[in-house]
Structure 1
Amino acid sequence: MKSYHLDASRGFEGLTIREHDEPEPGRRQVVVRVRANSLGFRDLMIMKNRYVLPLRPGVVPGCEGVGEVVAVGADVTQVKPGDRVAATVFPQWLDGPFRRDRAAQLGTAIDGMLTEYALLDEDGVVPIPAHLSFEEAAAFPLAAVTAWNALTCGSPLRPGATVLTLGSGAVSLFALRFAKLAGARVIVTTSSEAKAERLRALGADEVIDYRENPAWDEAVRALTDGAGVDRVVDAAGPLETSLKSVAVTGDVAFVGYWLSGEVGARPVDPALLFMAGASLHRIATGSRAHFLEMNRAVAAHRVRPVIDRVFPFEDVPDALRYGEAGGGFGKIIITHS
Structure 2
Amino acid sequence: MKVYEINGEFGIDRLKASDRPIPVPRSNEVLIKMHAVSLNARDLGVIDGFYNPNLSTSLIPVSDGVGEVVSLGENSNKFKIGDRVSGIFTQSWITGEPTQQNWVSTLGSPLNGLLAEFVVLPEEGLVHVPERLTDIEAATLPCAGVTAWHALIEEGKIKAGDTVVVQGTGGVSLFALQFAKLYGATVIVTSSSDEKLNRAKEIGADFGINYKQTPEWDKAVLALTEGRGADHIVDLGGSATLNRSISALRVGGHISLIGGLSGFRVEGFDIIPAIVRKARLQAINVGSRDMFEAMNFAIEHSRFHPIVDSVYPFERAVDALQYLMKGSYFGKVVISFKQ
Quickly name the TM-score band, shorter chain normalised.
Answer: over 0.9
Question: Which one-letter code corresponds to 1:33 in the other structure?
Answer: K
- 1:123-153 CA deviation, whole Å, 9 max, x = no partner? 1110011111111111111111111001024
Percent identity at matched positions? 39
Question: Which residue matches 1:173?
Answer: 174
Residues 91, 195 of structure 1: CA spacing in aligned structure 2 closer, same or farther, 3 A cutoff?
A: same
**Structure 1 regions of 5+ residues with no counterpart?**
none
Question: Which residue matches 2:10?
Answer: 10
Contact 1:249 1:279 in 2 (8 A): yes
- Partners of 2:207 and 2:117 lie apart in 1 by 42
Question: Which residue matches 2:254?
Answer: 251
Name whichever of 94-103 and 262-271 sits farther off: 262-271
Residues 177, 24 of structure 1: CA spacing in aligned structure 2 closer, same or farther, 3 A cutoff?
A: same
Question: Does the residue aligned with 1:301 lie in a helix, a strand or coil?
Answer: coil
Contact 1:153 1:281 in 2 (8 A): no
Alpha-carbon shift at residue 265 of structure 1 (Å): 4.7
- Partners of 2:218 and 2:57 lie apart in 1 by 42
Question: Which residue matches 1:69?
Answer: 69
Question: Which one-letter code corresponds to 1:280 in the other structure?
Answer: L
Question: Which one-letter code corresponds to 1:248 in the other structure?
Answer: V
Contact 2:96 2:288 in 1 (8 A): yes
Aligned pairs (5 A) from 1:200-239: 200-237=201-238, 238-239=241-242
Question: Does the residue aligned with 2:10 lie in a helix, a strand or coil?
Answer: helix
Question: Which one-letter code corresponds to 1:69 in the other structure?
Answer: V
Aligned pairs (5 A) from 1:70-219: 70-103=70-103, 104-219=105-220
Alpha-carbon shift at residue 328 of structure 1 (Å): 1.8
- Partners of 1:188 and 1:281 lie apart in 2 by 20
- Partners of 1:302 and 1:311 lie apart in 2 by 25
- Partners of 1:300 and 1:330 lie apart in 2 by 22
Residues 299, 233 of structure 1: CA spacing in aligned structure 2 closer, same or farther, 3 A cutoff?
A: same
Name whichever of 302-311 and 50-59 sits farther off: 50-59
Alpha-carbon shift at residue 173 of structure 1 (Å): 0.3
**Structure 2 regions of 5+ residues with no counterpart?**
none
- Partners of 1:326 and 1:279 lie apart in 2 by 29
Question: Does the residue aligned with 2:166 lie in a helix, a strand or coil?
Answer: strand
Residues 148, 38 of structure 1: CA spacing in aligned structure 2 closer, same or farther, 3 A cutoff?
A: same
Question: Superposition RMSD on alpha carbons, in Å?
Answer: 1.7
- Partners of 1:180 and 1:16 lie apart in 2 by 41
- 1:77-118 CA deviation, whole Å, 9 max, x = no partner? 211111000111111111112221111210111111000111
